[in-house]
Each structure stands twice: as C-alpha cells, then as structure tokens.
Amino acid sequence: MEKLQNDLLLRAARGEQTERIPVWMMRQAGRILPEYRAVREKAGSFIQLATNPELAAEVTIQPVDILGVDAAIIFSDILVIPEAMGLPYIMEERVGPIFPNIIQSMADVEKLRIADPEHDLKYVLDAIKIVKKELSGRVPLIGFAGAPFTLLCYMIEGRGSKTFSKAKKALYTDPVLSHALLQKITDSTILYLKAQIAAGANLVQIFDSWAGILSPEQYRIYSLPYITQICDAITEVPVTVFAKGAFFAREEMGKLNCEVIGLDWNMDVAESRKLIGGNKTLQGNLDPCVLYGSFDEIRNQTKIMIDAFGKQRYIANLGHGVYPDTNPDNVRCFIDAVKEFGSR
C-alpha cells in the first residue's frame, strides 16, 4: 500500500473518519486554467494532448499545484474506449466529438474488438505512471471511464446530442444489438479500469453522463446491469458512480457494489441520503454556476452545501464539470471555503 501524504479522499470514500472534507472538481484539469491552455497550445489539439503521456501528466497535476485540490484526476476522455475498440473519433472545435463511422448493425458490433489497454490505451497508462512519479504521494490519483450506456450513445449517434434519439431508438427497435454492444463496452471498460489501477490509480470513477435521458425502466435494463458488472469486478480500489440526471435510480445505486455515489445539483441532499442509505459516501453537488458568483456568494453556497451533507462520508465537488469560462480565483475560493467550513 503506497503511503500518501494526503489520503483524505480515500478515507472519506471508505467511510473512515476524516479531519476535514476532501475536495476536488470534475474537469479541474482543463480550460479554466491559463496554464492548461498554454500546454494545449503546445500540443496542437485536444486529442494530441490526451495521447501525449508527458503533456497529459503535466495538465493532470496542474490543479493540485495551482488550486490546492485533494486529488488529481487523469487527463483523458471517456471516448478513448470506443476508439480502442475500433471506432475512432475526432474532436472538432466548438462542435465536440464526431465519429466518422457509427454502429448500425450487428455486423458492426461483431467487428469491434475488446480493448487491450496495455496496447490500445498504453498512452493513458503511461500518463498515470508519470503522474504517480511526479506527485510522489502528495495526493491520490483518480482514474475514470465512461459508463457503457453513455458510450453507446456516442457510438450509435456519432456525435453529441441533446436527446440522443438515434441511440435511444436502438434500445426499442434493436435490443439484441444494444445489449451486445453494451456487453462489449463493459468487458473493455473492466480491463481498462483494472489497467489504470495497476498503473497507479487510487480510486476510479464511472461517468454516466447521459443517464438522465433514459426512463427509469430503460435505465434499469440498459445501464444499471452493466454498471453493476463493473462495480463487482473492481475490488482493488474504491469506486465512484456518477450518473447525471438519474435521480430516479438513487435507491438502486445504494445497492451497487461501490463506495461513492456522485450527485448532480438537482438531487436533494437529505432525500438522496435517505434513498441511497448510510453505507455509501456521497460526492457533489454544487451547481457549477455558483462559481460565477461573488466570493461571498460562493462561500455562502458552499457552507449551505456542507451543512446539508455533514462532515463525514462526504467528498465535496460540483454537481457536474466546472464550466470552461469560470475564473480560477472563484474556483480557489470554493476550494478554500470547503477546507475552512469542512474542518471538524
């Protein structure tokens, strides 16, 4: 077991006592920091940055040095898994990810391979190893992957969408294809997360970014069973499940074999605690737009959030990723406020 100077995140995740609430932010390694933008410029593009282990490691560590967060999260993208399975994507400025080829038939699913992380995703594993060396135990490192349903959305739709109606259509018109694709993604994701852990990740998070577009029934059929498989397979480190918009599945999430449940800002804290139960750590859930407010407003909203969650079995975070045009000083104000109000 490696010795960490700051293991607040891991202790909170495991439900152990902590002197103060740990804090980190989704998308903390990114466009809010001018230092990130400088490295991105040097890399040339998002994908070139994500696939260059040295540069990816550099931007992973920036928030630890600049913002004082209690964890680093590896700089990568959830769409590296479809790519490793044989479905490459491009990232278009101001448009987002585009898949030149999409999954349209069972033959397309059969052509996909189960990702081999040591080969297909070696650049992520190399970045993790560099980060671990350079952090030298200062804070834990979070690894992550997209949830199978969220990845299916992109692989069938071919790009971002508000409704993902094309992807959802497949659930109703071709359930056999949908389950076959979800299972292949799940198998790839388990191998990938285990490889991240072997490379040094101390905790892993599953991002189900598009959970909220499903009906409760569809979520129980097409998302939860696959997240369950991943949670059951990862026994080495704590697991966090963040399903944005899946307020209807909180009770089921309480039964998942994971340590932490992430909440978005629409999920009431007391209600969530009741539905999820007392044996899970909760993470979240400040509205990212709070960080556009004055320092006083940020401090006030952070205190309200901490009072609602309590100081144990809790990891402070936003209810979604930090927005790219947020002032880093406001972000620092939030992190400092958690450290102040979250001390015992």
Using one digit for the tens of pLDDT, what is the confidence trace for 24-75?
Answer: 999 999 999 999 999 999 999 999 999 999 999 999 999 999 999 999 999 9
What's the mean pLDDT when you consider all of the chain? 97
- Give me the pLDDT at residue 344, please: 73
Counted domains in the chain = 1
Return d(Cα 257, Cα 252) in angstroms, integer.
Answer: 11
Rg for the chain, CA atoms, rounded: 19
> Given a cut of 70, is residue 1 above it in pLDDT?
no
Q: Within a domain: residue 19?
A: yes
Q: Tell me the mean pLDDT in the region 164-187.
A: 98
What percentage of residues in the chain have a pLDDT greater than 70? 100
Cβ–Cβ < 8 Å for 311, 20: yes
Catalytic residue positions, numbered: 27, 31, 40, 77, 154
Residue 320 burial (10 A CB sphere; 0-12, 13-18, 19+)? buried
Using one digit for the tens of pLDDT, what is the confidence trace for 321-334?
Answer: 999 999 999 999 99
| Ranges assigned E (strand) in the chain | 72-73, 90-92, 96-98, 141-146, 203-208, 239-243, 260-262, 281-286, 314-318
Sign of CA dihedral 305, 78, 155, 183: negative
Q: Within a domain: residue 68?
A: yes
- Give me the pLDDT at residue 275, please: 98
> How many residues are listed for the chain in this entry?
344
From residue 320, alpha-carbon distances to 164, 266, 284, 313 in Å are 19, 10, 8, 19
Using one digit for the tens of pLDDT, what is the confidence trace for 190-243?
Answer: 999 999 999 999 999 999 999 999 999 999 999 999 999 999 999 999 999 999
Q: Within a domain: residue 104?
A: yes
- Give me the pLDDT at residue 311, please: 96
What percentage of residues in the chain have a pLDDT greater than 90? 99
CATH number at residue 164: 3.20.20.210
Q: Within a domain: residue 297?
A: no
Using one digit for the tens of pLDDT, what is the confidence trace for 255-286?
Answer: 999 999 999 999 999 999 999 999 999 999 99
- Give me the pLDDT at residue 165, please: 98
Q: Which domain holds residue 99?
A: 8-284
Q: Within a domain: residue 327?
A: no
Q: Tell me the mean pLDDT in the region 243-255.
A: 98
- Give me the pLDDT at residue 93, please: 85
Q: How confident is the model at residue 2 (pLDDT cuts 50, 70, 90)?
A: confident
Q: In 151-173, which positions are buried (b, 16+ CB within 10 angstroms) versus exposed (e)?
A: bbbbbbbbbebeebeebbebbee
Q: Within a domain: residue 314?
A: no
Q: Within a domain: residue 158?
A: yes
Residue bearing tokens 């260059």: 52
Q: How confident is the model at residue 94 (pLDDT cuts 50, 70, 90)?
A: confident
Q: Within a domain: residue 74?
A: yes
Q: Tell me the mean pLDDT in the region 103-114.
A: 98
Return d(Cα 307, Cα 301) in angstroms, integer.
Answer: 10
SS3 call for 48: helix
